[in-house]
Structure formats: structure tokens, C-alpha cells
Amino acid sequence: MLRINRLKIQINTTNGLYGYDELFTDGLNILASEDNTSGKSSVIAAIYYCLGFEEIIGGKGEKVLTAVYKTAIEEGEEVWPVVESGAYLEIYNGKEKITIYRAATMEGRDNKLITVYHSEMNNIKKAGILIEDMYVHMPNSAINVKGFHTFLEGFLHIELPLVPAADDGTKKLYLQLIFSAMFIEQKNGWSNIMSGMPFLGIRESKKRVLEFLLRLDTLENEKKKDSLRTRDSSIKIQWNSLIKELNILVHREGCVPHGLPLSPQVLSEEDLLHLIIKKEDVEIQEYIDELQGEYGHLTLLKPRVVDNFDDIQEELNATENSIESFERELYKNRGLLHVESISIDKLVNNLEIIETDIRNNKDAARLRNLGSELDFATSKDTCPVCSQPIQDSLIPHSGHLQVMSIDENIRHLNAQKEMLEFAQISHRKNKEKIQERIKQLENSLLTLRSMAKSLRNDLYSINENISESIIHKKLQLDAEMNSLHQLVEYINKKKQKLRDLSDDWKKYLEDKADLPKKKFSESDEDKIKILRKHFIRNLSQFGYKSIPNLNQIEISMDSYLPVIEGFDMKFDSSASDNIRAIWSFVLSLLETSNEKSGNHPGILIFDEPAQHSIVSSDVEKFFNHIIKFKNSQVIIGMTIRDSDTRQTINKLPSGSFNLIKVPYKAFEKFSTENE
């Protein structure tokens, strides 16, 4: 909840300190001035300004404030120039009180700066009070820690939802938007329901604000959906990178993975069992066992050459055969690599040409604009001689062929560019693949060649020597077994990770299935029904007559705004009835939120609600209705022009509201002891 406790405006002039200091209470506060001077608006504007909500009035910074803050104060005949000005506002959230200070005119202090004193206004000068500087209306001030609105959000114990923004992203719902449904400003505010809402790049902002104030489940669902979306993409990213890593490592050892799930899915134990790595069509563990067997076999062999001459001869042949086939493949791959490189070069070249083309076309478009500014006939597609239409082309055109306009041409070239870039990417990928393969082949060739060399050495060596090839082979087998063992260990580790991810995925799918299918929950429908009930009751109470049968009015499930037979109510309302509708809607929002524990902070500001000379008996009913409110604060700015209004206020039960009289000149000189 939010309550405004006290407002103190300080204006330092060449004639000393002037200002205004007033306490506000719970319930109805009437800020009344005898004449429509700027005093009352200055006071209400200061509240907006201190909270950083001045965009609701229309504008940012001190320019929304009246002249007294910026230029001069009049006192009788005298005019005193303003030296410094600013305002303190004490607000209360039900638990703690803080005081906000924002300067309007002050040398060396930016008006975006807001100082928050964590104490009542009386104690702000005391030692030991926590003082923090924050800012408003800066990029990210709604999400940054030092942003005042972030602080205010926390202070009011509300959690603003993330909502779809106009640029397809998500944005936090701004406090300014929410408060524009509660602070009805005297100029913009009375043309329509929530018409004072500034545009801050949020799609369907009125709807989002109403959802928030009524705390509808749809908003909750949206939030849930949003968090599910982030979970979904996070799991997908982790899964993909894991699979990619696995693939690279497995292929580096010349193995092929089987049963690798490429996208997130719920894996059973069986699935995980089927996830195997094969080398040369044999399961990796079997392959290692085979190697082990071979190794064992080698140790059995007599290490002397003479004993294995035939074997060595045979093996040499086999090795040389495979060297040959590897070389052939290497040769083929090198050829392919060359082809890919050439096509990449060509594409790069083409892309460069297209880029200059695009640039030059953009130049041409601007030149054309420049030309039409200087009033050249050719820039307007007319012939300067005969004033007949011509096409923007110097190519002698045949027949009636249309040519593209420059903008079309630029789009056309951009499309081509996209296509070329796509082709380039795929060629690059191919190239990488081939390079990988070449590397692999070269490695295998190296081992095979050194093997062949050892075999040859054995063949030509003295018979009694120890066979080099056997030792060589042993070393090789040992190394291979080691690296394969490592791979197996690694895979097992990653399998565990995959299992965890699969569990996460399962949980995600379950949560997704748990989302309610219907857009509105039952309690949502209930809330909207209650809103309608309050709204219609308020309308009839305040004397709304434009629509004879008020029961025809519905609250739209699309916009949550009142409609009649699907149309905006405003079209059927007279000017004063439109004001009644705004009263009713703003009040019924508060009532509904109070009844159904919505997010409404329980504060309303109406500036000059008696627009379009509404009869004073209706205004009286309006006041009396507000007086009955519990748990809320309503501040109403009123000009008392005639005796009717004065009587209206006098008729209200005394003690049930707080009358704050703003004198002819709101700002009086502060006596020194006040300082």
C-alpha cells in the first residue's frame, strides 16, 4: 500500500525561503482553493514529481511544474526570482516511512536525481539516518538497483510483472503506467478511462495495468509461461552444447556415436543403455577388448625377426594397401577442400559487390530526395522537357517493362545478400568438415607409415634381432587403448549429465502440462463480475443517464474496460456522463481490489473531478461514497468557484475528511523558526 503523509515544498528566492507544508491523512483529503490559481496544481504536481510520475501529467523533468518552481514568486506587488526549489514527500507503506526529496531548480543537482531518506520528514536531518541517492527517467531506471522506481517497487511490496513490449521483447510493467490508472490529472485525465497513460513501449498497456491491479491469474499464467520459455531454451542450449562436445570428442578418436538424442527428450534407462559408441562397427568396449587381445597376442610372439618373417611380410603388404587407400581419400578430400575454398572466395567477392551495390543504391535514394528538395523534375519521375511520366532508369527500356523503385531495389539486393550469406555459411561448414577429415587422415597415415617403416626395417635386419615392428605395435596399441579408455570414462561422465538434463526436461514438460488450459480462471471471472457490479452501482449512484439500461454494460474480457454491446462506452456517453464513468471505474477498481486482495496500492488522486459542470448533488454523492472507503487514501483537488461547491463540502459530515485549504497564494514565506 501507499500513503502520502506529508508534502513540503521549499522555494528559495532572493527574498528568503517560501514554501508549503501540509499533512495528509487516510481517507478523503480535499485540497480546496478559492480561486483557480496555480497553487493547487503546484501542490498536486509536486506529488507526481517527487514520485517520478510526472509523465502522467505529460512531460519529463521540471518542465511539468508551474512557474513558481522555476522563475519567480509573486507576493503582492513584489516579484521574487527563484534561486532554488524542490519538494519533500513523506510516504508510508504500512510499515515504514520514508521521505523523498527531488529538486526542481538547483544549480549542480540534476533533476533526475532523487534522494531517499529512510525516516520521517521531521528526522531527516538527524544523524545516522540512511540516505540514498537514486535516479529516475534514465535508461533501465525501472530495473536497475539505483533506479528509484526499482526501489519504490520494493518499498510498496509489489512485484511488477514482465509483459510483452512493443518491440517483441519483454519489459517490466512500469510503475508510471500503473499509477496513471489511479492519479487522474486535471487536463489529460478526464478525456477517457486511463487516458493519462504515457506510452512507454508496452503492448496493450491499459490491459496489462488492469490485470495487475486486479491480480488476475492470466497475468500469473503469462509469467509462468515466460519462465517456462526461459527454462525451455536453457535446457535446449545445454543439451545442444553437450551433444556437440560429445560428437567432436568421439569423432576425434575415429569413433561413431549411436543413439545420441539430438534434442531434449525424456530418456529412460533403456535409452541410455542404447547410447553407445562404435569404432569400426564394434562397440567401443569390445573394441578395446580386441585391442587388449591383440596386445596379449603380441606379448606371446617371439620378439625375434626370424621367427615371424612371413607374418611381417604379410603385414607390410596390408599396411601398404591401406596407406594407398588412405592417400587416395586424402587426395580426394584435398580436391574438395580446394573447390570449397574457391566457392567461398567467389561468394565473398559477390558479397562485397552486393554491399557496394546496396550502399550506392542507398546513396541514390538519398540523392533522389535531395533532388526533389531542390525541385528537379527527374527526381519526381517526370521528364523535365515534356512533363510526361518517366521511369527512374537510364537503360533504354523496351516495351512496358516496369522497373523497381530504388527502395524495392534495395530490398531486392538485401534479399540477395541474405541468400549469399546463407550459402557462404554452408560452404564454410563444409570446409570445416573436410579439414577435420583431412587432419584425421593425415594422422592415420602418419601412424601407418611409421608402422610400415618398422616393418621394412624388420625385413631387412639381421635375423637374430629383436623385432622393431612388434615393439612399435605394442606401443601403438597401448596408446590407443589409453585414449579410448579416457573416452569411455568421459562418455560415462557425460551420460550422467545427460540424465540430469533429461530429468530437468521431464520436470519442465510436467510443469508445462500443468498450465491451465483456459485463459481465465474461475476467480478471474469472479473478479471481473465484481468489478462490473461495483461499476454499475457507482454509475447509477452518480447519476449516469446516457444509457437507460445500465445492465447492458459489460466488462470486456479482452480489454477489461466497460463496453456496451461490444463498443466503447464513451461513444454513448455525454460529456458529464463520461466524467461519471471515469469516477465509477477508478473507484470500482479500488473497491474490487480491496475486496479480492488485488495489487491496488489503495491511493487515488483526482484533480478537479467536477468537470463539465456536473451537478453538485452528484459530486456530493461521489464524496460520500469515498468517505465510506476503508484502507485507502483519496486526494481530491477542487476549486471552489461558487456557493454550490462550498455547500457541498460543508454538507459532508465533519470529521470524516481532511479539508486542506490552499490559500490564494499557496506559497507563504516560511518563518525562520520553521527552518
Partner 1 sequence: MMNDKNYIIADEIVFEAKPDAVPYNYRISYKIAQLCLIMDMCSRGGCSLLKLHMISIGLSTKQDMEILKDLAYDRHINYTVVRFDPAVNHAIRFAVADGLIVQQQNGLYKLNKIGKNYVRNIIKDKQLMKDEKRYLASLSTMLTEEKIKALTSLWRYSSAEN
* Contact status, residue 637 vs residue 45, Cβ threshold 8 Å: no
Kindly tell me which residue out of 374, 388, 464, 492 binds partner 1, with binding defined by CB under 8 A.
Answer: 374
Q: Stretches 35-43, 88-96, 313-321, 357-365: which one binds partner 1 (CB under 8 A)?
A: 357-365
Measured in degrees and rounded to the nearest 5, phi and psi for residue 265 equal -155, 165
Torsion sign, CA atoms 210, 216, 219, 222? negative
Is position 81 an interface residue for partner 1 (rule: CB under 8 A)? Answer: no
Please count the other Cβ atoms lying within 10 Å of the Cβ belonging to residue 553: 19
Distance CA 292, CA 653 (A): 101
Under the criterion CB under 8 A, does residue 395 sit at the interface with partner 1? Answer: yes
Grid cell at residue 370: 535531395
Residue 388 engages partner 1 in binding (rule: CB under 8 A)? no
Which segment (137-145, 409-417, 479-487, 530-538) binds partner 1 by CB under 8 A?
A: 409-417
Sign for the CA dihedral angle at 416, 422, 428, 430 comes to negative
Specify the long-range contacts of residues 228-233, CB closer than 8 Å, at least 24 apart.
228/508, 228/511, 228/512, 228/515, 231/504, 231/508, 231/511, 232/508
Taking the complex as a whole, the smallest distance from the CB of residue 341 to partner 1 amounts, in Å, to: 22
Is 412 a residue that touches partner 1 (CB under 8 A)?
Answer: yes
Q: Least separation, in Å, of the C-beta of 349 and partner 1?
A: 12
Torsion angles phi and psi, residue 170, rounded to 5: -120, 145
Cβ distance 527 to 216 under 8 Å?
yes
**Separation of CA 405 from chain center:** 37
Task: Provide the minimum distance between the beta carbon of 422 and partner 1 in the complex, in angstroms, as a whole number.
Answer: 20
Complex with partner 1: residue 365 or 659, whichever CB lies closer:
365
Question: Contact with partner 1 (CB under 8 A): which of 127, 130, 300, 401?
Answer: 401
Q: By rule CB under 8 A, what string of x and - marks binding of each residue 636-675 to partner 1? A: ----------------------------------------
Confirm if 88 and 121 have CB atoms less than 8 A apart.
yes
Scan for cell 529516475, then name that residue.
136
Give the residue, chosen from 263, 349, 378, 483, that forms a contact with partner 1 under the rule CB under 8 A.
378
* CB distance 636 to 606 below 8 Å: yes
Q: Is 256 helix (H, G, I), strand (E, B) or coil?
A: strand
Q: Which is nearer to partner 1, 312 or 358 (CB)?
A: 358
**Is position 384 an interface residue for partner 1 (rule: CB under 8 A)?**
yes
474 phi, psi to nearest 5 deg: -60, -45
Q: How far apart are CA 569 and CA 562, in angstroms?
A: 6
Report the candidate in 631, 638, 545 with the shortest Cα–Cα distance to residue 584.
545
- In this structure, the strands spanning 113-117 and 97-105 are antiparallel
Residue 543 interacts with partner 1 (CB under 8 A): yes or no: no
Q: Does 122 bind partner 1 (CB under 8 A)?
A: no
Q: Is 403 near partner 1 (CB under 8 A)? A: yes
Using the rule CB under 8 A, is 349 a contact of partner 1? no
For the chain, report the end-to-end CA distance as a whole number of angstroms: 31
Among 127, 130, 145, 385, binds partner 1 (CB under 8 A): 385
Pick the closer one to partner 1 by CB: 37 or 379: 379
Stretch that binds partner 1, among 115-123, 369-377, 450-458, 519-527 (CB under 8 A): 369-377
CB of 58 to partner 1, least distance (A): 36
Q: Contact region for partner 1 (CB under 8 A) — 69-77, 88-96, 137-145, 398-406? A: 398-406
Window contacting partner 1 (CB under 8 A); options: 324-332, 366-374, 463-471, 586-594: 366-374
Beta carbon of residue 562, minimum distance to partner 1 (angstroms, whole number): 50
Q: Does 394 bind partner 1 (CB under 8 A)?
A: yes
Query: Would you tell me which residues interact with partner 1 (CB under 8 A)?
Result: 356-357, 360-361, 363-368, 370-371, 374, 376-379, 383-385, 392-396, 401-406, 408-409, 412-413
